Amino acid sequence: MDFGKLLGDSFAYAKDGLLGNPGTWVLLIVLALLPVIPFVLAVLAMIPLLIGGGMPDIPTVAGLVIVAVVAAVLLGAFYMGYMLKIFRGEVPLPAVSGFGKMFTDGIKYIVIHIIYAIPVLIILGITIGGAILAALSAGPDIGMESILPVIGGAFAGILVAVIVAIILGLIAYIGIIRFARTGKIGEAFNFSAIFATIGRIGWGSYILALIIGGVAIVIVQVVVGLIPYIGGVIQLIISPFITVFFTRYITLIYETGEPRAPSPA
């Protein structure tokens, strides 16, 4: 696998698609910001209570948070639905259009993510929940000799959850591209086909390619974040570029594992 070519082709795809179409870039920034709106509105809704000297009660805060989270997920579906266009292999970078399909595709994308996250959530629920219950059952007089096993159990649970999340993430990337290209949610969980694709790519090459792409993005984010005063603004502006770049990068990795058509005799 030519990692340099993958990086170069992905960068050129994002550069040509966004610098050549600034309207697309602006629309993607808007779509990326949409999920923030519900949380801003939730904070604004609590301001009158805070100004009046009172504190919002727990049910009110919980209700606002739940509504904000659900609304943010729904609004974020547009952005995720657009990324599925890239996963389908559309060249050049597609226009931000077809909002109805973007939304429905994005919702399916989110559902797939949630399903993949279930094992991780179960592990965290059992281990951290068990640690909390153990601490509560020990009462206020719990000593260090009792708290250390609880902390150790919680830490071990988090470690296992992280490992499982990484493994599922490797599988999910390929599964989501299969969904994008077939339109069938079930293909996101067609593990025999997913493992066959990764096998053709090569597990080592696949993992190394993701690490290289991730490191490249982290370096850019850190460098931009160190720019005084305007680093955060620049990160917001370039976030669509980074997302398009990495989405295309994963797509190209996937395509290296597609079955090759037989050469004509």
Flag whether 262 is in a domain: no
Flag whether 263 is in a domain: no
Q: Give the chain as a DSSP string.
A: --HHHHHHHHHHHHHHHHHT-HHHHHHHHHHHHTTHHHHHHHHHHHHHHHHTT----HHHHHHHHHHHHHHHHHHHHHHHHHHHHHHTT-SSPPPS--HHHHHHHHHHHHHHHHHHHHHHHHHHHHHHHHHHHHHHHH-TT--HHHHHHHHHHHHHHHHHHHHHHHHHHHHHHHHHHHHHHH--GGGGG-HHHHHHHHHHH-HHHHHHHHHHHHHHHHHHHHHHHTSTTTHHHHHHHHHHHHHHHHHHHHHHHHHHTSPPPPPP-
Flag whether 129 is in a domain: yes
Average pLDDT over all residues of the chain: 88
Q: What tens digit of pLDDT does each residue of 80-111 get?
A: 999 999 999 999 999 999 999 999 999 999 99
Flag whether 31 is in a domain: yes
Flag whether 97 is in a domain: yes
Flag whether 261 is in a domain: no
- Range of 251's domain? 3-256
Tally of structural domains, the chain:
1
Q: What tens digit of pLDDT does each residue of 156-186 get?
A: 888 999 999 999 999 999 999 999 999 999 9
Q: What pLDDT, on a 0 to 100 scale, did the predictor assign at position 45? A: 82
Q: What pLDDT, on a 0 to 100 scale, did the predictor assign at position 42? A: 87
Q: What tens digit of pLDDT does each residue of 195-250 get?
A: 999 999 999 999 999 999 999 999 998 998 888 888 888 999 999 999 999 999 99
- Statement: residue 29 has pLDDT above 60: yes
Flag whether 39 is in a domain: yes
Flag whether 265 is in a domain: no
